[in-house]
Chain A
Amino acid sequence: MFSFAGRTGGAGGPGALNRADERDVLVALRGVWIERIEQGRKTDMGERQSDGGLSGRGSRHALLDAEVEALIVASLMRDGVDAEAEQRAVAAFRAARSAGAHRTRTRRRDDWSARERRYLGRSLRTTLSVLLASLTLGGVAVAAIGAVDSSTDGPGGGREHPPAPSSAPRDPSGMPSEGRRTPGPGTGSPSARPDRPAPAQDTEAQCRAYRQVEGRGRAMDSTAWQRLVEVAGGESSVTSYCAGQLAEAKPEPGPARNGGAAAGGPDANEGANEGANEGVSGSANEGADMGQNKSSGKNEPAQQQPDQRQR
């Protein structure tokens, strides 16, 4: 009757509950519940006329958790143990003891000490915070790579994003792509690099992040930060560099393809762009300027081009 497979016992026989004490428990419990039901019916009727829906716990869910728990315990637990089963367990204990099994090593799953339990809890929290931190820094790093690469594309600077080779034909679809592009709000060329924020935003984000982690921990050792420092011209200049970046970024309200945001560009990385221009010959000159600035629409096809080829 207790099997999930089917109720073989049912109401007919007590089945597994053939021990006298078990039956006693059931009988006693049943008596208690019958009594309670009788009381419940009486109070329920009186209550229905008087309470006007105020009955919070109500008549339907009148059982407290404690009562349910008591019922479960009474249903499933029997006091006392089967002596025979106990003897079997003790015999197994004896056998294991003489076999030396009790001097075995504790595996992790066998360690239920309080310290271990606490440790588990802490390690979960630690894992989560490390994960969160790595996501945050990872995002910053990705942004930083974008920003810094594009601004240090000069010799030695742009390993990952070589400037557009001069032999490359200009993208024939450059103009159409102009039309494809959604004149979205915000910054320069969102569709050109769909997986990456616009360069100026990169720098802004980087600067904001820099302010947060400034002087703290190993974040400052990362390549991205070192590049930022490089771009700014020394660690001491980062703050002022960023201040300039952020100040310029703010008055960038709406669909500023070549509006106010353009100011952020040249100003921000003049030096870098000079280097970039050296490394880029001929026709790519427009594209090489693809640093922070989103100055004009003309840049964008060229900007798009190397990216597409690399991916």
Chain B
Amino acid sequence: MRAHDEELGAAVARAQQGDEAAFAVAYRLVQPGLLGYLRGLVGNDAEDVASDAWLDIARDLGRFKGDGAGFRGWTATIARHRALDHLRRQRVRPRSSALEQDVLELPGPQSTHDQALEAMSTERALELVQGLPRDQAEAVLLRVVVGLDGPAAARVLGKRPGAVRTAAYRGLKRLAGQLGAASVTDEAPRTLGEST
């Protein structure tokens, strides 16, 4: 995704000069990641929130300064504000309940085959992402889905880069533990065999 950053930067620059088609190009490059991030934040309402965010983005485009990667960060910040507004309006708890979270963590090494299958589904993965503590979930999403680097993700979240790095690391480890509870990659034993 970051491979497109150059293209994105050029498109944004042209859009800032008033090029409508270039704006559409930027939209297509940014929207999937933005929407993925918003899905993690507001679930089903992601599309609506993204639409709102794009109104802001279109309006403020002239103010933006930066390259393609910067544009991802800038748009993610706007989308995040929209998402938080949305959650506030809804007065919905942004996290699943503690009870639910406990249940999500349960499938351990002894899980049955069926449970493991369930754990592997993408829906499950999404639930797990949403079940992470908010800072971890956001850090993971911004890094992985939006494609921001550490400092940019930190700026979006208004935190220190170190804190965001740690949060992303913990989030990924936690997900790996939960998702990989009953699975083994086939490479692992082979590598071990070679090294011993």
Chain A interface residues (CB < 8 Å from chain B): 1-5, 7-8, 15-16, 25-26, 29-30, 33-34, 36-37, 39-41, 43-44, 46-47, 51, 54-65, 67-69, 71-82, 85-86, 88-90, 92-97, 101-107, 109-114, 116-117, 120-121
Given contacts A61-B177, A62-B184, A112-B71, contact A93 B109 (CB under 8 A): no
The answer to whether A105 touches B70 (Cβ under 8 A) is no
Instruction: Say what secondary structure dominates the interface of chain B.
Output: helix
From A43, A58, A79, name the one whose CB has the most chain B CB atoms within 10 angstroms. A43
Complex partner residue of A62 from B23, B130, B185, CB under 8 angstroms = B185
In the complex, the chain B residue whose C-beta lies closest to that of A92 is B58
Chain B residues, CB < 8 A from A4: 42-43, 92-96, 130
Complex partner residue of A89 from B51, B64, B173, CB under 8 angstroms = B51
In the complex, the chain B residue whose C-beta lies closest to that of A54 is B192
The answer to whether B129 touches A1 (Cβ under 8 A) is no
Distance (whole angstroms) from the CB of B105 to the closest CB of chain A? 13
Chain B residues, CB < 8 A from A113: 65-67, 70
The answer to whether B152 touches A62 (Cβ under 8 A) is no
Distance (whole angstroms) from the CB of B128 to the closest CB of chain A? 9
Chain B residues, CB < 8 A from A43: 184, 186, 188-189
The answer to whether A117 touches B184 (Cβ under 8 A) is no
> Which range holds the interface residue count of chain B?
35 or more
Instruction: Say what secondary structure dominates the interface of chain A.
Output: helix
In the complex, the chain A residue whose C-beta lies closest to that of B131 is A4
Chain B interface residues (CB < 8 Å from chain A): 15-16, 18, 20, 23-24, 27-28, 31-33, 35-37, 39-40, 42-47, 50-51, 54-55, 57-67, 69-71, 73-74, 77, 90, 92-96, 108-109, 113, 116-117, 120-123, 125-127, 129-130, 140-141, 144-145, 151-152, 155, 172-173, 175-177, 179-186, 188-189, 192, 196
The answer to whether B172 touches A75 (Cβ under 8 A) is no
Chain B residues, CB < 8 A from A26: 121-123
The answer to whether A77 touches B32 (Cβ under 8 A) is yes
The answer to whether A77 touches B183 (Cβ under 8 A) is no
Chain A residues, CB < 8 A from B117: 33-34, 37
From B28, B47, B77, B188, name the one whose CB has the most chain A CB atoms within 10 angstroms. B188
The answer to whether A94 touches B20 (Cβ under 8 A) is yes
Distance (whole angstroms) from the CB of B168 to the closest CB of chain A? 9
Chain A residues, CB < 8 A from B54: 85, 88-89, 92
Complex partner residue of B36 from A30, A76, A109, CB under 8 angstroms = A76
From B24, B62, B125, B184, name the one whose CB has the most chain A CB atoms within 10 angstroms. B184
The answer to whether A96 touches B58 (Cβ under 8 A) is yes
- Bound together, the chains give a CA A5 to CA B179 distance in angstroms of 22
Chain B residues, CB < 8 A from A89: 23-24, 27, 51, 54-55, 57-58
Chain B residues, CB < 8 A from A59: 109, 183-184
Complex partner residue of A75 from B15, B95, B126, B180, CB under 8 angstroms = B126
Chain A residues, CB < 8 A from B44: 1-3, 8, 15-16
Q: Show 8 A/B contacts (Cβ-Cβ < 8 Å), sorted by A.
A: A4-B93, A59-B109, A63-B180, A63-B183, A64-B176, A67-B176, A73-B36, A93-B20
List 14 additional A-B contacts (Cβ < 8 Å) besides A62-B180, A101-B62.
A1-B43, A36-B185, A39-B184, A59-B184, A64-B185, A67-B176, A71-B179, A75-B125, A85-B50, A106-B63, A112-B69, A117-B155, A120-B151, A121-B151
Chain B residues, CB < 8 A from A85: 31, 47, 50-51, 54
Chain A residues, CB < 8 A from B35: 76-78, 81
The answer to whether A81 touches B192 (Cβ under 8 A) is no
Chain A residues, CB < 8 A from B42: 3-4
In the complex, the chain B residue whose C-beta lies closest to that of A52 is B196
- Bound together, the chains give a CA A39 to CA B120 distance in angstroms of 14
The answer to whether A93 touches B152 (Cβ under 8 A) is no
Chain B residues, CB < 8 A from A106: 63-65
The answer to whether B120 touches A33 (Cβ under 8 A) is yes
Chain A residues, CB < 8 A from B66: 111-114, 116
The answer to whether B113 touches A37 (Cβ under 8 A) is yes
The answer to whether A60 touches B180 (Cβ under 8 A) is yes
